[in-house]
Structure 1
């Protein structure tokens, strides 16, 4: 009702229910979502509403023993009374000596905080007799002797007339055995929004007349905040529910282990909601022993990816919700000849197979919003003779074809907004046909069987039809001559029309216009100069193509700029090496005496560390002669010749690596030479010293290769670890110094 009110007052369509079953208050009419009683006007005297009462037991005693009260208490609310267990109040008698348990038909305990075990000292020990004059001590009664769990108030109590029980949002964690044994005529049980993680196999024993069971929105977590899986001691939990018609498990997290529960559902079950349960697969033939009419599998990605998960429901299923399950085809629904409603919003369907869809002979509502459907050129939806509502919003339909217009003509209501369309004359004809049908047809609502469950999904579409904006487009005041060129227009009308929703791209002007402003096919054929239109379109198309041709290379260069820069540096270094004449360098074959023990490569920013730390340790303590570019390069030679010559006259090479080192082109050249020395010569004396951590994304391929193939040493930040660093480095340098001399020139 609220949705309808908002639609009427604000001009907005009512919001569809997220799951097929909606919420508990959508399927009953005696209590609201907060636990307050809302019985029919004639039943107000039969109701006691104690919701949010601080001391409900005492107030209940007073109301039952009020001297003028004669009415039977059929409705009772103890919602949000801060109860930690069900109070033992049901043997209290009114002034007519009628026990409360014998009178109750509808009861809600919504919003209390039941504990697994009641808190210490919490007991309801006082009650009043029928006249209210004598206090009775119940300390030795059976009420006090039962185990003090949250459900102790139900123990040993019979509720022969109780029809509906609301235990929503009571922090219930377990359903113990024989919990509802004393409620033989219960028809609806609402235990959603709790923390149920265990159900005894005999928890529902005795509920032979139960019709609707709501176990939705149960979320249990362990002490670490991890979700608990729903557990049972036997898969035949629902076996006692011989007359169960509707089972709601929506928003309750299930696992593959819980699929066994569904196999205990009998032929009586007509409605099942597994909406947003976290299941990602259904076993083939799992519903083969059921006769489901309504099934909701929404928000479970991949749940229908098996071959035949719905086998056995072809002749019984009337409504299927499968929103956002990553469905890619309609093949799962082939031969579902009784299906009336198919809700497939938010999937990945890009093609409709006519061999499948023509088998859906009874389909009345088909919702394919937010899929990937394109324009089509063959009859599809016209093969479903009973189709009343077809919604194709937010797909990839870019152009309305002549075949589409013919195919959709006899669908009563269409929704096509949210598709990025290109203007053409068929789009205008489609618009004029819709306007003509508004003048020639009256509203037709969806008429479905009265005994169908969850009729809110049908009322939603009927409300859309009732509150929709009609298409006139300036044609309401003209006679039939305005649409004479249309011919047969079918019967379809637009369900989601507003001028802003039905626009298209006018290619000649590269702008968006209303479909109502496009020329119709008849007028276009007479007045439009095709050569001029095509010439202008070619120029604009060429401009549109040039833009990505320019932006794409620029984007690629920007994305791979580091790799491109490194490629050219490597190419330059290779070219520089090839230009060196062997006779210009030191002849390694004739000169086997090294002038230096180690060639040190470092950047200018790390000069202080080299001079203050490294050089004193090497030359003073280790007697290692080091070659530094700023001290030992020969004046007059090119930098390239100095680098190659000094490396040839050094026993080993040491790279002082840092992030600043990688920014120096000469340092990168020296690193490239070091790799060349490893790969192309027989000398493999290379020492890597890392002054700081260098992330993988900053390492060029040369450095990454060296770090993967050579053991390196890291300069410690902690001063206490530095003696070990110097000891390891000294050992390495002395070992390299004492190796037999065998020099192969880099040149």
Structure 2
């Protein structure tokens, strides 16, 4: 039952988070009122009627209240004696947790309208009640006398003649002393439907429930005898109560499961709806087993809820649960030791079951109570003629279908359509979640947190589940198709796992692609470093997104489509800023959905580079939870204070402005210097660059098979020399140079006007000719020095000499007399310094010697 209450509270909490600010709570208007020396708090509850709260004021006496007071709360004071009369029209009196020792005389005289009287936790001796004590309480509906027994070993008598005067009483909460009896006088209480003897809220010490213990309370509908140290219950003790609907015998650990046949005896003759038998075994011991005969008396009842929690149950005999009728809506087996077995098939035969709780299995027994408890389970006396276990193969095939899907089987579970909730948290479930089907159109809530489902492969075929909790399952992998059929899912809790890597790899947004109804998503504590842009592309109904306690350093997930988002929890991550796109997206959501974001626990960057973000977040600080507590990173910790963000922003802007001109000037200067250096380098090395570009292109073409003549690395050359000359010197080349060097000496020369291919791009033949030649001979004249193309030929030949031939003597200059040596030195000084030149003679007598030396020079190998 505790798990059921917990789950319902969780659901209510989630719905509250989704509707923050939508509910307005009406607060009662209290005012101070005085009754003699007592100062109390009062509020009007109807016309001329007042409720007086005088609790927890250390008052030692009850004052005289005004006649218009109809409700009195005098609990938690120091009253010993009721000395004054109460107002005649009072309907509620609470005197609990005082020090009242006796109810002498008639303290409730003429209180004909009193409906509720609470005397819990005083020192009243019930044995001393006088016969006329309650004679005027004609309208009393509820009486609470619990916690008044000071010594449970001292005999206490419940006088039935005293209570017989309470003809309107419906609820009686009283201690259960040893040898308690409810005499014939209780038969006059025909409206009494609730009897609470629980030792949890009071004192209960009787050990046996006899067959006739409640025989005079035929109208009882609610009976609570939990935690009463009961060791035995006679058969038919509850079967004699035809109107009994709710029976609680929990936490009587001496009973054992062997007492179940007596507890349930003849319950089919009652109106039983709820049976609580939790904790009726010792805290420690070996596992127990629920057998068929334990529950066979439930056959024929209309029971709707049964609680068998905390009984160390490890197994159930197959078929035992089938003694419960199809009226069952809640079955709770939480906090036991359940191991899996064929009895699980019995769950699926309940046609109207709504909640199945098998959560919190194998929880350790409480320490040190389990060690020092004096307890021994009542055990079954089994005869040798036990029924044979029936064959469950047919039942298994009815409720679980196995289909061969590729190489893996597809398990389909056929669950009752009425089943709405399954609690299986802390149930020792250990495995991957494979592809499986759940045929249950009524299933709405699944709680599987705190188990060991370490990989979620799926998909799970069910479109009806609305709440799924898989938190704290040590999962490190979620497949992209796991939630493929989760179209009806509204609340999804995947926190406290390790699926951050799987999420970051989902760049197409497949994981949540089909969760179109999702409103609450918890991805906290999942070691998430980044979320892909399209992860939430189809979750248009999302209201709350929780990703706190991760390692996100940059928010990249798109939120434009989250038109209904109200809360995004990003606390305790590594965020320092939002980029412009994210700012625009959030700003749009601020206007249409009143979004609030929690960035607490992140270290924001508070510097000039992040000024735009700081300005933006300050403008929208009303949308950021705990804005005043935000902190800057360690390097910026003194520069910005979010508790006074506006003034800190102005200070930061002024400081950043003073540096702006420095940054601009430095940037311009740096750009100019860099450009100048690059320009100088380019000018000084332009020929080298052009040469290297040509070589690179040549290698690429060679790899593609386009060039067959790349011979720079070979020792054989097609030409002995390439002649570089100005077009004005063509006549000299034809009439002088060719006859002397080719005809007479037999050298093979490259003459561009003769040997250059027709239609070739200008420049490329020159480079190829240079590479095919043993030497380059340049005829340096005035016209040569003025020609750009001759300048090109000379410098490319020079680069060939430096980069490839590794010898400047590859290039040889013929300096004509008309050339000024100073001009030549300025252009090709390095060649002059290395004596890579010959002066053309000015006298005819020296021509023959000149051509002879030039021929020898060309023939000489430079390698």
Instruction: Please classify the TM superposition score into its range, dividing by the shorter chain length.
Output: 0.3 to 0.5
- Tell me the TM-score normalized by structure 1: 0.46
Structure of higher RCO (CA pairs closer than 8 Å, 6+ residues apart)? 1
- Between structures 1 and 2, the one with greater strand share: 2
Given the two structures, how large is their TM-score scaled by the length of structure 2?
0.40
